[in-house]
């Protein structure tokens, strides 16, 4: 259902049920999505509820103006140095509301939302319901951490959409500051999965917006570990999206104070991103320094964090340290050290994880190039990518393939193998653009 179709359906409902003629437009629906109008008239709200199948205004993300946050800033409990701006909270709410209005009419979403609403309602009805429901949300995040490496990006997008919509409803119905902070933390973690999913589907602009929401939600939560984690994952992603290493380092530098005062459990991704960015610039000394710091931090992590292989903020197993070593040494041309790290990483990955070993093989291809055998490097990269179905070729895979190609000297790019690698990368980019157009 397009915006115009939604507007026409609401107009028809109001005329049929209330006997009044209104002329809502698709443009007006767009303004509702963007939050330009936060509390439309009674007829409009009633029509939207009827057409979209919701029971309350809160489910549509509408709140009376006097129910919004009253203070300009709120000091987070137990974090006296962390101011949470009302503007940041409102922007997070705005993104979630836009998501609801833009997607609530999609086929199948309404049913899934209704089912999850009923389940969360049951959680709330139980003894200590609020605490039980928050715990359930954390389990949902953990579930995404498990399936993030096994499901396709399109499937992840569908699953995440339902939970993001439900979280938006929960925020609209929750006034308790401590509970809202926990919801913002969960929103940050769900948003970072959504950012990666839509980015892998070729929607780069939308992905950037979701990363911004993830960071805003993390900051609004006041949870230092989540704030560090989101910044680290965003920096890692930018490496594969092709952002310049210098710009990535500048972004990481903005978190220096947070890194100095935050918990050790939030540091690994930022340290890994910084080491990899230095390696891409050929700055071996700084890259080695960050590798040493990463190893030291890993030694301080709790055992339940290092034993878990999920992709969430409560996990950082040893293979990720070895992966970072492999990346750094491959780009610096230290082939012997890279091969040792690659072998160690491959022995540590669980059998159900495909992306990590695939990336390691692409780093092996890069080592061939650094060792002077560009044709073998190109062939190894091609064979590695071709073993993956197209729907699993995320930016974490294709970004590394591009790095292999870019490492090949221009005078070597005329060989058949290198030309085939270039064509593989080009074909994948074209296929991704077609998927974006179809969506």
Written as tens digits, the pLDDT of the chain (439 aa) is: 567 778 877 887 887 777 777 778 877 887 777 666 677 888 888 888 888 777 777 767 776 765 444 333 333 333 334 445 555 566 665 555 555 555 544 444 555 555 565 566 656 655 555 677 888 899 999 999 988 878 888 889 888 988 888 888 788 778 899 999 999 999 999 999 999 999 988 888 899 999 999 999 999 999 999 999 999 999 999 999 999 999 999 999 999 999 999 999 999 999 999 999 999 999 999 999 999 999 999 999 999 999 999 999 999 999 999 999 999 999 999 999 999 999 999 999 999 888 899 999 999 999 999 999 999 999 999 999 999 988 888 999 999 999 999 999 999 999 999 999 999 999 988 877 666 555 5
Beta bridge partners of 113: none
Instruction: Report CA Rg, the chain.
Output: 24
Please give the biggest Cα pair distance in the chain: 79
Cα–Cα dist 194/92, whole Å: 14
Residue 63 makes CB contacts below 8 A (sequence gap 6+) with: 38, 39, 57, 172
| Residues in Cβ contact with 232 at an 8 Å cutoff, skipping those fewer than 6 apart | 266, 267, 268, 269, 270, 271, 272, 273
Which residue in this structure is represented by tokens 């005078």? 411
HSE-CB for 376 with a 13 A CA cutoff: 8
What is the spatial distance between Cα 73 and Cα 70, in angstroms, rounded to a whole number?
9
CA dihedral 92, 93, 99, 100 (to 10 degrees): 160
pLDDT for res 375: 97
DSSP-assigned letter for residue 59: G
Tokens 């980015």: give the residue: 199
Cα separation, 294 vs 270, whole angstroms: 9
Q: Which contiguous run of DSSP H or E holds residue 329?
A: helix 318-332
Placement of tokens 């969360």 in the chain: 120
In degrees, to the nearest 5, what angle opens at C-alpha 363 toward C-alphas 361 and 368? 95
Domain spans of the chain, in order of start: 1-62, 372-438
Which residues are bridge partners to 84 per DSSP? Answer: 74
CA distance 6 to 50: 11
Is 386 in contact with 362 (CB distance < 8 Å)?
Answer: no
Contacts 24+ apart (CB under 8 A), 382-389: 382/417, 382/420, 382/421, 382/424, 384/358, 385/358, 385/424, 385/428, 386/424, 387/358, 388/354, 388/358
- pTM comes to 0.75
Helices (H), ranges, 242-267: 245-253, 256-261
Q: How many CB atoms lie within 10 A of CB 362?
A: 26
Backbone angles phi, psi at 283, to 5 degrees: -90, 80
**H helices, E strands: number in the chain:** 21, 2
**C-alpha pair distances (Å), 74 with each of 97, 227, 257, 368:** 22, 17, 20, 54
Token pair listed for 342: 């690659």
Cα 241 from Cα 280, distance rounded (Å): 13
């Amino acid at each position: 259902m397009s915006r115009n179709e939604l507007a026409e359906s609401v107009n028809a409902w109001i005329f049929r049920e209330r006997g009044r003629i209104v002329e809502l437009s698709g443009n007006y629906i767009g303004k509702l999505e963007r939050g330009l109008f936060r509390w439309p008239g009674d007829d409009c709200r009633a029509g939207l509820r009827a057409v979209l199948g919701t029971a309350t205004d809160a489910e549509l993300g509408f709140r009376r103006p006097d129910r919004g946050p009253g203070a300009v800033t709120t000091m987070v409990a137990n974090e006296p140095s962390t101011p949470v701006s009302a503007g940041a909270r409102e922007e997070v709410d705005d993104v979630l509301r836009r998501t609801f209005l833009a997607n609530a009419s999609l086929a199948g979403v309404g049913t899934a939302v209704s089912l999850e609403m009923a389940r969360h309602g049951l959680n709330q009805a139980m003894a200590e319901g609020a605490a039980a429901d928050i715990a359930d949300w954390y389990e949902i995040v953990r579930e995404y951490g498990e399936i993030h490496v096994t499901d396709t990006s399109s499937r992840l997008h569908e699953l995440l959409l339902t939970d993001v919509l439900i979280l938006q409803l929960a925020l609209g119905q929750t006034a308790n500051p401590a509970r809202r902070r926990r919801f913002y933390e969960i929103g940050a973690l769900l948003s970072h999965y959504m950012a990666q999913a839509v980015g892998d589907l070729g929607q780069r602009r939308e992905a950037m917006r979701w990363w911004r929401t993830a960071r805003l939600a993390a900051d609004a939560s006041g949870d230092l570990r989540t704030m560090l984690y989101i910044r680290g994952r965003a920096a890692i992603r930018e490496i594969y999206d092709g952002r310049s290493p210098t710009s990535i380092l500048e972004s990481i530098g903005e978190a220096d104070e947070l890194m100095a005062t935050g918990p050790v459990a939030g540091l690994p991704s930022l340290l890994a991103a910084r080491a990899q960015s230095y390696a891409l610039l050929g700055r071996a000394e700084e890259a080695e320094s960050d590798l040493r710091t990463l190893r030291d931090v890993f030694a301080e992590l709790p055992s339940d964090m290092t034993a878990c292989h999920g992709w969430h903020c409560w996990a950082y197993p040893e293979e990720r340290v070895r992966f970072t070593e492999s990346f750094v040494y491959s780009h610096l041309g230290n082939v012997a050290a890279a091969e040792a790290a690659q072998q160690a990483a491959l022995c540590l990955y669980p059998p159900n994880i495909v992306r990590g070993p695939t990336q390691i093989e692409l780093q092996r291809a890069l080592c061939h190039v650094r060792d002077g055998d560009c044709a073998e490097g190109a062939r190894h990269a091609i064979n590695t990518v071709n073993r993956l179905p197209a729907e699993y070729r995320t930016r974490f895979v294709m970004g590394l393939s591009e790095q292999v190609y870019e490492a090949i000297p221009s005078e070597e790019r005329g060989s058949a193998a290198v030309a085939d690698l270039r064509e593989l990368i080009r074909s994948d980019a074209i296929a991704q653009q077609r998927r974006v157009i179809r969506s």
